[in-house]
Every structure is written in structure tokens, then in C-alpha cells.
Structure 1
């Protein structure tokens, strides 16, 4: 492929990756840390497509040298993106569960204290 087409593909892929990251963050599928990492990664693709000197001796173009390698690399990046979405969602759910457990523990302590006041027994005697 001619280098200009590869540069255009890099720019378009970087823009699409940036948009996907922002939409995932807006949909609460991506945490802030992952968003920052993916936006920087997308910015690298965009800059490597715009400024060939930033491609570090065209290593980016070597990775994306043929159509098969480009498709494989794009699927790999998208696969890693989906994994980071899953990790973010699970991290959010874990945080919510920890908050619920904390609230349940507080409610349990309140009920035990109230029961102790009503019966006059210690927590160990109950």
C-alpha cells in the first residue's frame, strides 16, 4: 500500500478509537484512567498518521504494512479495548458492592445496639 493511504488509515483509526473511548466513558463502560490511556493511544495514531517523523522510523507502518496485518492489528486493539471496558465495568460493580456491604454492616451494628438496649444484654450474650 502507498504510504499516504496508510497514513490516512492511521488517522481514521485514531479518530475512531478516540470516539469509541469517549462514547464508552459517557455510557459508564470505561473508567477515567482507561479513558486517558485510550485517548493518548488514539492521539498517538493520529499524530503518527499526520507527522511521519513521529512514527519512529516508520515502525508504525511496518506493523500496519499489509491489509492482513492491518486488520489483525485493528482487531487486536479493539479486543484490548473491550477487555478494558469489561475491567472498568467489573471495577465499578465491585465498588458498588463494597459500598452496599459497608451500609449493611452499619445497619447490622445499629440493629445490634438497639437490641442490646431493649434486652439489656451484651452483643456476646445475644
Structure 2
């Protein structure tokens, strides 16, 4: 995980996004099709996962999120990308998921509370 995060060349990374908390075995990049879903409304992750099912998508893994960030750096500069993988249980008791944020001149990989997301967010699903 640490090597993939480094390969993403982020300007900022949440301190919990590391090999210890998100174990990852290094291998060639996964051949998956990531589809960014725009719900165009405030929505929690479970609603995005329901929409994935209607579209023939599945929920992503944290591994797919990290590989995507390393391969497609500029996509997250336009809108936040929420990765509704199985949530990570943070030390404070909250459930969290990976989120790619960005803008002109910066990119981050963060770990945010898995709650309702703004209408401007995109949700990453994986084509089955």
C-alpha cells in the first residue's frame, strides 16, 4: 500500500492510509473498469451501492481506489471521488472510506466519515 500511495504522487495523504491499516500485496495493476456515478443529489454510500447494482456494477475495494489514483491522477481534480468500499473502522469508532479530492494544483487521498456525500461527489463503482 505504501508504495502505491507513493506512486500516486499526492500532495496530501491521510496518516491512516498505510500498509498496516490497509494491507495490499504488490502486483501488476488490476484490469478493472471503474465507472464514476453521479447521483446528482446528496446521498449516503449505501444509495450509491444500490445504484451500482442497477447498473451492473459492484462496490470497489480500497486496493482499486489506490491503483486508480496512481493511474488517473487528473480525474480527481474536477470533482471528489468517493470509494464506497467496505468501510474502515477508525480508532474514533467511525466508519470511513477512501476519497480522492483535488483541484487546481493539488491532489489528496483522504479517509472520510462514511455518511452523506454532497451532490458534487462522484461514486466509483466497478464494472462486473
TM superposition score normalised by structure 1: 0.23
Point out the structure with the larger helix share. Answer: 1
Higher relative contact order (CA closer than 8 Å, sequence separation 6+)? 2
Q: TM-score, normalised by structure 2?
A: 0.23
Judging by fraction of residues, say which structure has more strand. 2
Which protein has the larger Cα radius of gyration, Structure 1 or Structure 2? 1
